[in-house]
A = this chain, B = another copy of it.
Amino acid sequence: MEHFIYGGDYNPDQWLDRPDILKEDVRLMKNAHMNEATLGVFAWAVEEPREGEYHLDWLEEIIDRLYENGISTILATPSGARPRWLAEKYPEVLRTLPDGTKAKFGGRHNHCFTSPVYRQKVYEIDRKLAEKFAGNPAVIGWHISNEFGGECYCPLCQEAFRQWLKKKYGTIEALNRAWWSTFWSHTYADFSEVEAPSPIGESATMGLDLDWKRFITDQTADFMKVEKKALKDGGAAQPMTINMMYDYDGLDYGRMAKDLDIISWDSYPEWGGPEGNEKPALGHGRCHDYMRSLKDQPFLLMESCPSSTNWQEVSRLKAPGLLTCASLHAIGHGADSVQYFQIRQSRGSSEKFHGALIDQTGRDDTRVYKEAAEVGRMLERISRAKGAVTRARAALVQDTQNRWAIADTQGPRNCGMGYLEFIQELYRALKKQGIDVDVIDQDHGYEPYDLIVLPMLYSVRNENDRRLKAFVENGGVLVGTYFTGVVDETDLCFEGDTPHGLTDVFGIRRLEIDGLYDGQKNTLTGNGKTYSCDRLCERIAPEGAETLLTYGEDFYAGESALTVHAFGKGKAYYLAAHADEALLSDLMRRAIFDAGIGPLVQDLPSGVEVQSRLKGDSTYLFFENFGTEEGKISLSKNESVLYGEQDGSIPPCHVLVVERKN
């Protein structure tokens, strides 16, 4: 499609007895400048009401009618919500809980990914869909299942896990070593003795916990590949995606991305809270960057909400303009679509109050409908930016498996290590400098970057110490922090000095880690400045590094807390404590300067976020004002406004799109 995709989840299967509504929906979507609908996400019970009895003509009719009105379809496989008859006839498709209880039918995600029966039934319906729709020009993509997630502990999954471990470790001795199972005499004599972690069984063997999570990701990916195969066997050649979720830690998306044609995700910021809109914008901005960096290419905003989100703590209305800001925010970060959940509100069940283009009144004069139509107009106006790419020179490392390891380990701060929060604080400090940022995991290459920010890389895998060393040697700027280089992939402590493999790069070694209680603080001083820190304070010994800041209090007052070390052609900072916003801001500014990265614009106004995308000889600059004051961008001769005020001013809750000719 040459335009940005604009549409969303549409569930006509709930309204098949209402042809008046089905017809009216097309008119309303069209008037809102939509060009896409995502169909069939929860339609299995209508598509196959009884086993082997397929009803797909209604779907074809709707797809065709939409297409006649300029609306293409992304077609979903229905495996995200299976029909009741499947559970009644084949109870094995239901999940088993960690304590061994078999779940009943219900909820949304509740299917065993291992069950051969479930895989077979999903294969059959998926293939039927592909056979019927693969050649339909209306269908531009496949949406596999829905928000993959969750775990099953049934005997089939347990056995698959054992096979997975056998493949990974080869011998039981290797597994025992990796998991340090001699502790508490938990040694395994044979792979057959392994069981998944359970609150009423093994619950404190970190290696087991981590491998189980890896297995869950691999098994889910394996299930996804069955679905892909069914579609391809049915003739499908369109791009395939799954819709991912915000900061979800049940799966390592990095491992799933390689099997997808395009990344898509569902973004639901908590707008309008007591702390304002900048905070949720920066959180979802980071997640947009994470999603884009998964494949280093544009992604789809598969779901977002045109009004309030009913399953959040509070359903705040979006203030006027905020829908436009949020939509452009995704585009700026690399999205090639704006899609909603949902086009028309349900009348009943658990998401009937989830915002939609068309609410239960059916009106087209609502505030929401009118703003959604304006978003459609905006996307048309800036459509030449579609497909443009992002070329960030700074990367922030956010690693899912490391997140698992930090969350699971015991000590040094069981009341909260704050891994994601710290990443978010660093992200904010970077974005406030007006630059683009990639958010990558530790399997990603470091070559494209001039600056790597590496918070709390506790669990190191994939030769990262070696690769980071090479990065700095070759001239890169590295910012490492406390709690880096402590354990390997299965949470086994490294022997000898730490940060493991990086003591020479940073020019320091770690002595001790002090956990601080909530409310306890220390200070960091140097060069006439004083900052604050809390949570975790490492005692470190410089071995070559220059000390920039020292602790101000406690028995380690005067000892190094922030160091810098020239190594090869580059340099490496080491921040030994969880520091306040002021220090993170100063440190990121300094590191960006060292890395030679310039801002996208001069004097970015407070509250305004900027992103850039490149295509041909144009740089597209996207600005959204999530603050409370009007901002203004100075435009150069080679810059022109594509959308927004021509003088570059951006009132609160407004946007600006600028094209710069390079």
Contacts and interface: CB of A to CB of B under 8 A. Distances in A.
Contacts of A515: 308, 314-317
A493 B272 CA distance: 26
Contacts of A512: 307, 317, 366-368
Contacts of A83: 185, 187
Nearest to A309: B411
A511 B366 contact: yes
A101 B104 CA distance: 13
A46 interface: yes
Contacts of A310: 410-412
Interface string A490-509: 11111111100000000000
Contacts of A183: 11, 14, 42, 346, 348-351
A407 interface: no
A489 to B, nearest CB: 11
Nearest to A193: B84
A13 interface: yes
Interface stretch (A159-167, A200-208, A424-432, A560-568): A200-208
Given A104-B198, A107-B203, A42 B347 contact: no
A490 B348 contact: yes
Contacts of A498: 360-361
A656 B539 CA distance: 29
- Report how many copies the assembly holds: 3
A340 B604 CA distance: 57
Contact-size category for A:
35 or more
Given A184-B349, A320-B555, A88 B193 contact: yes
A643 to B, nearest CB: 22
A347 B495 contact: yes
B519 A274 contact: yes
Contacts of A82: 185
A545 to B, nearest CB: 18
A106 B203 contact: yes
A255 to B, nearest CB: 23
A348 B489 CA distance: 11
Given A346-B183, A347-B493, A415-B314, A104 B202 contact: yes
A413 interface: yes
What are the 8 closest A-B residue pairs judged by CB atoms, nearest first?
A180-B348, A104-B201, A310-B411, A106-B202, A353-B411, A106-B201, A315-B412, A45-B185
